[in-house]
A = this chain, B = another copy of it.
Amino acid sequence: MHDIKISCDFDILEENRRLAKENRKILDDHGVYCIEILGSIGSGKTTLIETICRNLRDTRTKVIVGDVVSEYDKQRIAKLSIEAIGINTGKECHLDAHLIHHALEEVDLEDVDLLLIENVGNLICPADFDLGAHERFIVVSVTEGRDVIRKHPHIFMKVNAGIINKVDLAGYFGINADSLVEDILSLNRDCKVFKISLKTGEGVRGLLRHIAQSIEIASF
């Protein structure tokens, strides 16, 4: 009696895949390596981007920052003298390839080695929307609880690297960071997993090395 029916003019996800492929071609044509960063609110996405920008000084980096309505994250990045393009999704809870397609028109890709895209803080909706990045990272904080990965299997199956952040607080929250590693690997055996603390610096070097190597390999 009260079923809700939606009819779509065409397949949104299929169209998204087509545009993501176009985006990837644009990036490849310009020799730009692109990493999308996913994760919940407060997991540490923006702090990770700040850390990458501060440490990979010889890498010419630009950032696309997705947020619902505000520009707080964009402003944080801009403080590092890194060009940051903000996308406000309004009430939408994820970026899509179409939004990135337009953002790419605003970026001068000629002098970029690494493009970072920070998605909206959400572990559900962004999963299905390939943006055209070469790698997808997901940041998950030990403060999000022991079940967080098993509760959101879909998105963890669609990433290339899982970054377990705030491991310095694992003891306080009674969380075993290694069991979070196992949770990711049980869903996605090929996923690289990094245990880090962006606050104390623990484990960060290994992650930065991975990113630097990926950029180098892609530039051959």
Q: Which residues of A contact B (CB under 8 A)?
A: 2, 4-10, 12, 15, 19, 40-42, 67-70, 72-73, 91-93, 98, 101, 120-125, 127-128, 141, 143-145, 147-148, 150-154, 166, 169, 172
Interface contact A67-B151, CB-CB below 8 Å: yes
How far, in angstroms, from A42 to B43 measured CA to CA in the complex? 10
In the complex, the answer to whether A141 meets B42 with C-beta atoms within 8 Å is yes
Number of copies: 2
Chain B residues whose CB sits within 8 angstroms of the CB of A154 once the complex forms: 68-69, 91
B-chain residues with CB within 8 Å of residue A124 when the two chains form the complex? 68, 91-93, 120, 122
Contact flag A93-B125 (CB < 8 Å), given A69-B151, A69-B154, A72-B150: yes
Q: Which of B4, B15, B41, B67 contacts A144 (CB 8 A)?
A: B41
Nearest CB on B from A99, distance (A)? 10
For A7, the chain B residues whose CB sits under 8 A away are 7-9
